[in-house]
Amino acid sequence: MNIRKITSEDAQAYLALQNKLDEETEFRAYEPGERKTTLEEMEKIISSKQEDLILLAIHDDEVVGYIEAERGKFNRNKHSAHINLAVLKKFQGRGIAKLFFNEVERWAKLNHIHRLDLCVFISNTNAINLYNKMGFVKEGTKKDSFLVDGNYVDEFMMAKIIE
Ligand SMILES: CC(C)(COP(=O)(O)OP(=O)(O)OC[C@H]1O[C@@H](n2cnc3c(N)ncnc32)[C@H](O)[C@@H]1OP(=O)(O)O)[C@@H](O)C(=O)NCCC(=O)NCCS
């Protein structure tokens, strides 16, 4: 297993990963088939992320997971980054997410980022266990934040201050 930064040459594999994750998990924003991003759009998205960090987990040349830390755009919030991540089902439980978080924290310290935050569906116990383990604390609840299969879903907002 190798973890490395994304480049625009990964656009196709990254798009394929996102589409597969949309099929596999109900804990994220997109419904299966809802994502309409083209390859060209994805290349542009990746090149536009110079201030952010996207890491890929690679297994036998296959992209099997990602983490994105998106930095605030303004002087007043660029000390803060918002995190998204997911790992393909087949590769979960092998420590990939923990490796991702360690790398994100290293990047945060090198780039003067003081706060990491994320949102998680309150039913996503595996992810909440992971975030607790990585030192994130719950800051509040977004009521009825998503509508999944006709049911409203609450999200926890969680954050970690990097000293
Ligand atoms: C949440 C997710 C990213 C974890 O990735 P992962 O690579 O499987 O996690 P790791 O193997 O590094 O495990 C880290 C910790 O997460 C928790 N965890 C992960 N899988 C778990 C499981 N099946 N059951 C219980 N806890 C679990 C545990 O606390 C684990 O620590 P431990 O190994 O010391 O017990 C992954 O399950 C996933 O992609 N889920 C679907 C998409 C998603 O929910 N993304 C997050 C949206 S907010």
- pLDDT (tens digit per residue) in 150-161: 999 999 999 999
158 lines ligand 1 (CB under 6 A): no
Could you state, in order of their start, the residue ranges of all structural domains in the chain?
2-116
What is the Cα–Cα distance from 12 to 81, expressed in whole angstroms?
25
Span 62-116, pLDDT tens digits: 999 999 999 999 999 999 999 999 999 999 999 999 999 999 999 999 999 999 9
132 lines ligand 1 (CB under 6 A): no
Let me know: does 19 contact 34? Beta carbons within 8 Å: no
What is the rounded end-to-end Cα distance, in angstroms, of the chain? Answer: 29
- What's this model's pTM, rounded to 2 decimal places? 0.96
Let me know: does 134 contact 99? Beta carbons within 8 Å: no
Span 22-77, pLDDT tens digits: 999 999 999 999 999 999 999 999 999 999 999 999 999 999 999 999 999 999 99
Nearest CA to ligand 1 atom 26: 126
CA of 130 to the centre of ligand 1 (A): 6
Q: Which residues partner with 142 through β-bridges?
A: 155
The first and second tokens of residue 157, run together, are 């907002």
Let me know: does 22 contact 76? Beta carbons within 8 Å: no
64 lines ligand 1 (CB under 6 A): no
Task: Give CATH for domain 2-116.
Answer: 3.40.630.30
